[in-house]
Amino acid sequence: MKTLGEVIVELEHVSKTFPGGIQAVQDVSLEIHRSEVVCIIGPSGSGKSTLLRCINGLEDVDDGRVVVDGIPLDKKKVHRDEIRREVGMVFQSFNLFPHMTVRGNVGLAQKRVRGRSDAEANDVTMELLEKVGIADKFDAYPGQLSGGQQQRVAIARALAMSPRVMLFDEATSALDPEMIGEVLAVMRELANEGMTMAVVTHEMGFAREAADRVVFMDEGRVVEVAAAADFFESATEERARDFLSKVL
């Protein structure tokens, strides 16, 4: 196991209840350190995605505290704006901008938020597209790409902001089986380069190989947190063992 860097994401007793009384997240505390890869796994509806969305403020927490790289996620707009600039997110359904080319998708926030010039943005975009293996799709529209290619563009788009932490919300769940591999490969490479990552996934193989720690959630609560190897070899909690026996 790597030596732990400083804490980048800090969740303290976070709770989130949706209108209608569904308690999506209940009293979750979690720390993610620099360069750490944390996989959040668990059955559907266990609050994994909601927890992830609490980290960058896509969901407001009802209780508890969220701190990202020293910035508290509170009502202050400056804090919120800084956090969403510094936290990259990749969605299950890619969410590319369909009316823009790949260049436009990856370049927009670089220019509008980071203030890069067209030329600088294009250079960064090209570099990132090469990294995710689709440099030839520079001028293509999302509608002309496969799911796997679209998701790799989405990853490049998030990376273009040089985020301090990347969130992956079931990034491979909407993909055909043969495309899952190409996206996981990119994620694995990122992990190896020392990117801090919080990954909600159903890909147990990825969690076992790439994760430093695994967080197992059920019914909105964190049931078990363990080093990836330990978790898959010998989960301590009954509920986690039961889940693993079904998915492995």
Report the interface residues with another protein, using CB under 8 A.
Answer: 56, 58, 81, 84-85, 87-89, 91, 93, 95-99, 108-109, 112-113, 141, 143-144, 154, 157-158, 161
Burial 200-239 (b: 16+ CB within 10 A, else e): bbebbebbbebbbbbbbbbebbbbbbbebeebbeebeeeb
- Kindly report the number of other CB atoms within 10 A of residue 55's CB atom: 26
Give the residue with the Cβ less far from another protein, 27 or 86.
86
Give the residue with the Cβ less far from another protein, 23 or 95.
95
Give the residue with the Cβ less far from another protein, 84 or 213.
84
Could you tell me which residues come within 8 angstroms of residue 82 by beta carbon, excluding any fewer than 6 positions away?
71
What minimum distance in Å lies between the beta carbon of 78 and another protein?
A: 12
Strand partners, 12: 65
What minimum distance in Å lies between the beta carbon of 20 and another protein?
A: 18
What minimum distance in Å lies between the beta carbon of 103 and another protein?
A: 13
**167, 196 contact by CB (below 8 A):** no
What minimum distance in Å lies between the beta carbon of 208 and another protein?
A: 27
